Structure 1
């Protein structure tokens, strides 16, 4: 996936992370895209599992960064990471989660119009996409899912809703997500699910974690 001095292979041209120190034992690695975050996160996890990252305790991806905490020698590791050339991430090998969805969201018709398709085609488009959890945030259990082709990326709503029901399947720009609890939100709501996104009594508590693949399956009528 990457080498310390090579050029990578396949897809877009490889990129090098930009690394900055954060406190005594942390590094913040910056890249230019969600795809770059996915590639860097996968490479860091692989190297940690192989014992190459020393005592790194946590690897936390975000929209354009990956944070490493518990770094024993941050200067040395940061210099190494800065030499990596990250090629496009290979087809995901993470666990696959299937989520049953009812396409009953209040913004379904608006999204279909933006896509220039009838509303009945939205389940086909969404269901035909394999999403990947890029990172988590906003609320416990909320995963930011990437994978939608560029032409199917609707903007956020001009006016956010004060309350979005728990279980709402939503889209905004390059991301899809499911609201784990009722909260304000400005994403386009296209469906709903009964899946439990966050359960502290479950192991793991979050249904979606970085690297997990997600397929949305249309629920039976």
Structure 2
């Protein structure tokens, strides 16, 4: 495989964001008068975007579109102010990105986090890295595992799907890669276990950041 482009998921792949996501979700739950959720519960809720995270966090019987919308407004205001409080880049990730760039491989981010937060966090934690595309959840564009976000990146980068590696940590990511018909590398340090990802039979596995280089 002649890899010309590596697309990275953000949450659970490049950055450990779970503490800040859980803090903002719990802030919103408390503001609406609902019980808090544990960080472990929130870890299972993430992957399909903020709206789905908040719907899952609400208790049974309260998962209405109206409650989700109210929660989202509170969540987003809090998360915008606090999304870098406890978030950190996974060990070695910045060096791997730099190595890939030095090899002439294009880099992109495909996230289900809303666009403004995706852009902010990528700039903040990887300021020296040049990405050809940084895409998050956008209005009127279906979220992953729909393959549209990957197709948009491929078009922007001018790279054929045969020359792409998609790196992610979740079942949503593996499904996205399958739907976009690109090779997948599953990382094991994120928000899902190896056992949860095994059924998707990814082309490569990464137990540490440098394993991504071997997947090429």
Superposed pair shares fold, TM > 0.5 = no
What range describes the TM-score normalised by the shorter chain of this pair?
0.3 to 0.5
Q: Which has the higher helix share?
A: 2
Which has the greater radius of gyration? 1
TM-score by length of 1: 0.33
User: RCO higher in 1 or 2 (8 Å CA, sep ≥ 6)?
Assistant: 2
TM-score by length of 2: 0.33
Q: Which has the higher strand share?
A: 1
